Chains A and B, each alone.
Chain A
Amino acid sequence: MKDLAIVMKEVGRERKDIFLSILFGFTAGITAVGLFASSGYLISKAALVPPLYALTVMIALLKFFGLARAVSRYGERLSSHRATFSILSNLRVNFFEKLEPLAPGIYQKYRSGDLLSRIVGDVESLQNFFLRVYYPPIVLLIVFLSTIVFTMFFSVYIALVLIVGLILTALVVPAFFAYSQRKIDSRVRQQRGELSTEVTELLYGFRELKLYQRLDEKEEMLKASSQKYVHEQEREGIQLMFNQSVNTAISLMISWVVLALGAFLVAEGQLDGLFLAMLVMISLTVFENATPMAALPGNLEESRTASKRLYSVVKEKPETALEPIVTLPESQALSIRFDELSYQFEGEDQQALNKVSLYLPEGSKTAIVGPSGSGKSTVLMLMLKVLHANQGGLQINGQSIKHVNDEDIWSKSNVVLQDNHFFYGTLRENLELAGTGFTDEAYKNALHQVELSHFDLESEVLEHGENLSGGEKQRLAIARAMLKGKRLWILDEPTSSIDALTEQDLYERLFAKAENDTLVLVSHRLTGLEKMDQIIVMEKGEVVEAGSFNELMAKQGYFYQMKQIEKSVFG
């Protein structure tokens, strides 16, 4: 519920639209009651003493209430939807404010590709919170109270009946069904998950299933799981129908009681018969507002789950640097030292890094190589203080990394990741990430350096750089890093999609630019490493070998064998 309070606060910001939604919602509800009440009253009046003015008034009132109701309904829908979308905007910004200090560490930690789309989906599903949970009960309450007060002028008993009806249809019945609905919902979700697994396995594992003759078995499992899922959905649908029907039955029976009681009072002479039709019409109309209440528990539950999941992601405190905070020098190459450093990803039972020690002197060039999953990228993420070591020491420029602000490291390094992000906009805007103070010449020169001079600075870049090839994206990322021009280079497989020849040229320029800087390169290819000061070979989170190219080749160890395999592999 605490998470829902955050949502509630963001909802509260849209005061004007909330007010308008409630106001129009109220007028729409009350004019409907007025419309039917007046028609009931006037037709009775007309039946008794039929003067002509009764007719004129009746038609005028009918028209007035009818138009007012339609317009109010329009206004209500408009303002409530506008409020909803503004609220979504607030929620996104609010969530982003919470997530931003935790990124990018939190992305590494979850390691799950669907985290982000889940976040987006959860924010979206909160749109029902205002629209179906927050303001309709308020409107319902005001409409009912006004109606009840009005009814009291004619008969206290009938007003009491309406109060009982309100409590039953808006409170007791929804609350009663909320519990059972919750259980069914979670079962539906669970069955959907199971079916999704079965379908994925059948399609992605098809070849294996077919060859190992397990396809029929799998098909049966899938059918059964689909059957179960559909069955749970069916139960959910029928339960919902049942809830709504019970609510309708109750509100119809309340109108029945109003009629019976009213008729009794009229017969006893305690109520003027003139008002009987009006009271029955009021009762029939006012309960129409209560019907959506049956669906409220479901929406509330959905909002609760979404907000809980959403804010659980950003629950933790951002890691802050310890006092005294050390600022890294601006114009000096940095050194990095790992001292028996270990790291373990949450929820995994193996160490991603196990007691890794390495030293990168200032101005040195280091390559890290090894099979996929050996922990190369994790080493870089620790250097960047994106991940925080569980054990061991990490020094940057002779200072413990704990005393250095992560943003300080980032601002003083040129980073190229495996997956570099490009935003919707122009090429220039994407290069401007490296800094806005450059001349056009500087940007063009950077493009020239990575052999992209045929690109225009104003060319459009689509979301995720969809219109660029993998190699072009990598070259742009390198251009960005070159523009930034800091003294620490951290490069994670920067050229994996670039052909060998271009790669060679790029490296030549890169190394010329980084001549006096510290550089660390994770490489999937073992070619062109002769110039590196040191090559670190990793496997299963451990450093198995380190040394210069010639040293490692002479040693005929792990690196040498990797090199032999690479030699014999066809692309």
Chain B
Amino acid sequence: MNVLNPYLKQYKGTQIFLIFTAILTGLSIIAQAYLIVLAVDRVFLQGQPFEAIVPLLGWLAAALLLRAALTYASGRAGVRMAAKVKQEFRRRLLDKFSKNPVQASLQGQSGQKVSVMLDAVDEIDSYFSRYIPQVIQTSIIPLMILIVAFSQHLYTGLLMIITAPFIPLFFIIIGIKTQKKSEEQMDKMAAFSGRFLDTLQGLTTLKLFGRSAIQKDAIRESSYGFRDATMDVLKVAFISSLILEYISMLSIGLIALELGLRLVVFESVTFFTAFFLLVLAPEFYLAIKELGSAFHTGRGSMGAAKKITDELEKQDQPVVWGDKQLEGLNPPVINLNEAGFKYGESGFELTGISAEIKPYMKVAVTGRSGSGKSTLLHLLAGLVAPTKGGIEINSHPLSSFSEKAWFDEVSYISQKPYVFSGTIAENIAIGGNKNATRNDIMNAAQKAGISEMVSSLPKGFDTSVGEGGRGLSGGEKQRLAIARAFLKNPSVILFDEPTTGLDLKTEQILQASIKELSKQSTVITVAHRLHTIQDADLILFLENGELKGAGTHSELMEKAPDYRNMVSVQQGGDRE
């Protein structure tokens, strides 16, 4: 349970409070037993009148209410501490993710990260809200009862001290004995539990082949398989609590036997002492047993904690920025000097990219899939920092400029532009400065050829899109991204050209828009279309993360055999 302990240290105050409530709870348990026994003793054995015990009853009511109030106070403190820890973990994860997630999202781990941020953090809860308060209670309350037992009757105290360790001991022994078997069953359970989903997902195929009816029995069978595997695991857990129960019963029995002997045969203890201890004994064992169940919940949290700390300990590849401003109205001169980038320790590597990109140039980046085209685009965008070589803007390193100064000049149109949940207007406005007017937005939409589609919607620009809103087709998303670029009017445009599946209109709009945008900007395109490449002033031809040629189309056709090969294969593919 080490991973979470450092976090616990920050909550000294809560822990002291929990210790304090545990002590008070112990006191109220003892007081409760004491007062009940005293009252019974007085009216029953000593034959005192009812009035004699009224003050006792008053105290007892106070002790009982105090006990309930303490349960609440301690539970509440646990819940509060858990809430703070969860918030703290989310904040740290957020810091971590926002520093360095471009590579992460490229590695296709976003789904996993969402789950860490939501589910894993929630699973931490029970460690702080239940396990910790229970541990504190268990380490204090039995001790207090023990002290009382010793003060009342030495032998009861001794019996308690001797028998108590058997509970954790057996708990551990059973745990060790059964762990392997449980793990075997877990695999089986996992296999069975997916079967229902599998059948549901395959129902279309089954129906089309007229084979769905027999699946009913398959579902029943796998459900029963799951049940039996689960029951095997549960049986172990139930037996372990059965044994723990036996041990505590046996111990209480021993205490009762000893007390009974003294009371009846030797008459060496009073009714009061015997009854008092007999009421306290179950409380003593209960507190120890409860630690066992809390231990299970605590262990559940550990897996989640591991996931979170793994995420937090991942290496960063942060991007460094300075405070220089970009000057001049023209697009900047971009120089790549042997620039390279490597994902993590053993990830994909892009090396030795050198090129000079002059203002208003049309640059095409091309190569087979996996050759490093997108990585180069990310380097140029400033979304990742070069791990080798450097990028210079107007002869100054990119890292010397301020983040804002650079990003203000850049637009990035990806293959799958992200649509945020919000209205269409808001989604276009994300591209421009924050005080873009409605008119600016509509103009940008007009230029991107999307305004016709938008106006055909009942709510027009106020239609909600993204999560929970209207779905947009691939072509519409592309046009939305173009509209963002028009609104922003940047001096460098990075464009990841779509492959296929777009409608003709979007194709035409893309061409026309890029042409229009390139009048005011340098356009760097990851190109998938021959004419984009042919039109380019500079082609960067990549293969396996290396620059295999730079120049115009005709230059490369002449001097780069791999490039010539790629182009001719493409055209040869048509002759079928």
Contacts and interface: CB of A to CB of B under 8 A. Distances in A.
A200 B105 CA distance: 11
A280 B202 contact: no
A200 B466 CA distance: 11
A66 B252 contact: yes
Interface residues of B, number: 152
A274 interface: yes
Contacts of B129: 237
Interface stretch (A100-108, A137-145, A155-163, A165-173): A100-108
Interface stretch (A219-227, A297-305, A330-338, A452-460): A219-227
Contacts of A312: none
A197 B467 contact: yes
Given A89-B227, A202-B97, A569-B530, A103 B264 contact: no
A203 B72 contact: no
Contacts, number: 409
Interface residues of A, number: 143
Contacts of B404: 213
A211 interface: yes
Interface in B31-59: 36, 39-40, 43-45, 47-50, 53, 57
A420 interface: yes
A325 interface: no
Contacts of B403: 213
A268 B49 CA distance: 8
Contacts of A259: 36, 39-40, 57, 60
A153 interface: no
Given A192-B118, A256-B64, A571 B75 contact: no
B71 interface: yes
Contacts of A562: 504
B406 to A, nearest CB: 10
B196 A54 contact: no
A268 B383 contact: no
A211 B411 contact: yes
Interface in A461-512: 463-464, 480, 484, 500, 504
Contacts of B104: 203
A486 B39 CA distance: 90
Given A92-B223, A196-B118, A231-B83, A103 B207 contact: yes
Interface stretch (B334-342, B343-351, B494-502, B547-555): B494-502
Nearest to B511: A565
A85 B366 CA distance: 57
Contacts of B504: 371, 539, 558, 561-562, 565
Interface stretch (A179-187, A238-246, A354-362): A238-246
A568 B102 contact: no
Interface string A521-547: 000100110000000000110000000
Given A96-B215, A99-B200, A206 B101 contact: yes
Contacts of B502: 371-372
A201 interface: yes
Interface in B104-125: 104-105, 110, 113-114, 117-118, 122, 125
Interface in A36-81: 39-40, 43-44, 46-48, 50-52, 54-55, 58-59, 62-63, 66-67, 69-71, 73-74, 77-78, 81
Interface of A: 39-40, 43-44, 46-48, 50-52, 54-55, 58-59, 62-63, 66-67, 69-71, 73-74, 77-78, 81-82, 85-86, 88-89, 92-93, 96-97, 99-100, 103-104, 107, 116-117, 119-120, 123, 192, 195-197, 199-208, 210-215, 219, 222-223, 226-227, 230-231, 233-234, 237-238, 241-242, 244-246, 248-249, 252-253, 255-256, 259-260, 263-264, 266-268, 273-274, 276-277, 280-281, 348-349, 370-374, 384, 386, 407, 410-411, 413, 415, 417, 420-424, 433-434, 463-464, 480, 484, 500, 504, 524, 527-528, 539-540, 558, 561-562, 565-571
Given A88-B227, A410-B207, 11 more contacts: A43-B259, A50-B265, A96-B215, A212-B488, A233-B122, A237-B129, A245-B69, A252-B67, A280-B40, A421-B202, A540-B503
16 contacts: A43-B274, A44-B44, A62-B253, A63-B253, A69-B245, A201-B467, A202-B97, A203-B97, A207-B418, A208-B414, A259-B36, A263-B53, A410-B210, A421-B206, A424-B195, A569-B499
